[in-house]
Amino acid sequence: MSIFKGAGVAIITPFREDGGINYTEFDKLTEFQIQNGTDAIIVAGTSGEASTLTHGEHLNLIRHCVRTVAGRVPVIAGTGSNCTETAVKLSVEAERAGADGVLLVSPYYNKATQNGLYQHFKTVAEAIQIPILLYNIPSRAGCNIQPETIVRLCREVENIVGVKDAGGDISQTAKLLALAEGEVDVYSGNDDQIVPVLSLGGKGVISVLSNVIPRQTHDICQLYFEEKTAESAALQLQSMKLIEALFCEVNPIPVKSALNLMGFAAGIPRMPLTELEEVNKRKLEQAMKAYGILG
């Protein structure tokens, strides 16, 4: 049973001017998502700047998100770490908080072997009972979870059910889905590849784009599921310039700027990330105006 089907938002973490988490604004962003059809909330992931949250902030944010969402859509908590013990502790606490699942990024910096990745994810999975999505993002983590390893984990470990595939290699995605034979829930981790991944048998997307246009991102998936593939593809293509602008600097720098332009108080990223450069801010504004988000 899939944790969700469709478009889940990789929600940002808004910060106050003093640098703390702005929970009031987080609630506004959460309501904006739910009211516009988001199929799941993915909290404390890459877009949520989990890497610069303290463990206390990280867990408080997950608990707060679960309370705010109140069962209206699934909440998937980012609990990955390059330290297996830390990933276990975060995942156990996320389960206690009521999260519907966890998202485990591959251990970054360590550059584990495929056997090491298998043992890492298996160890975390054995500590909890809720479903797990792996998160394969070689460009950030420095290692690639090979399709064979993903399939092995999903077949041999009961509560590992799928993967957020942010590798960007559609050939590897096709190989994964061919090997999986329906036993792995695959979600695109790249907003410019939603329809291609769905066409291969994917379940949806874990999306940065959805922070800004949740209804349209949901509709890309829903139209595809309704076999309205031309309409789905048209929405995907219509969003390409906006997607490009949202990744003109490393995520989540541009998307936080976009939300600020929309009137939300997303704040600025935590160091070492910085505010969007002016030349890129103009590019982002132009893309948002062209899409009709800004007047």
Confirm whether 135 is a catalytic residue: yes
Tokens of 244: 């490009």
Rounded to 5°, angle at Cα 239 from 233 and 240: 95
Residues forming a β-bridge with 160: 132
What SS3 class is residue 144? coil
Residue type (1 letter), 39 = D
Of 164, 203, 256, 281, the catalytic one is 164
**Sign, CA torsion 250/23/134/171:** negative
Confirm whether 28 is a catalytic residue: no
- Residue 95 CA to residue 100 CA, distance in Å, equals 7
- Residue 122 CA to residue 151 CA, distance in Å, equals 13
| Secondary structure of 3-16 as H, E, C letters | CCCEEEEECCCCEC
Looking at the chain, the number of H-run helices and the number of E-run strands are 13, 8
Tokens of 110: 């360590």
Of 118, 135, 187, 224, the catalytic one is 135
Residue type (1 letter), 209 = L
Reported as type and span, the H/E element at residue 160 is: strand 160-165
- Residue 97 CA to residue 290 CA, distance in Å, equals 41
Torsion, CA 32, CA 34, CA 36, CA 42, rounded to 10: 90
Tokens of 129: 């009972």
139: Cβ contacts below 8 Å, ≥ 6 apart: 166, 167, 168
Residues carrying an active site annotation? 135, 164
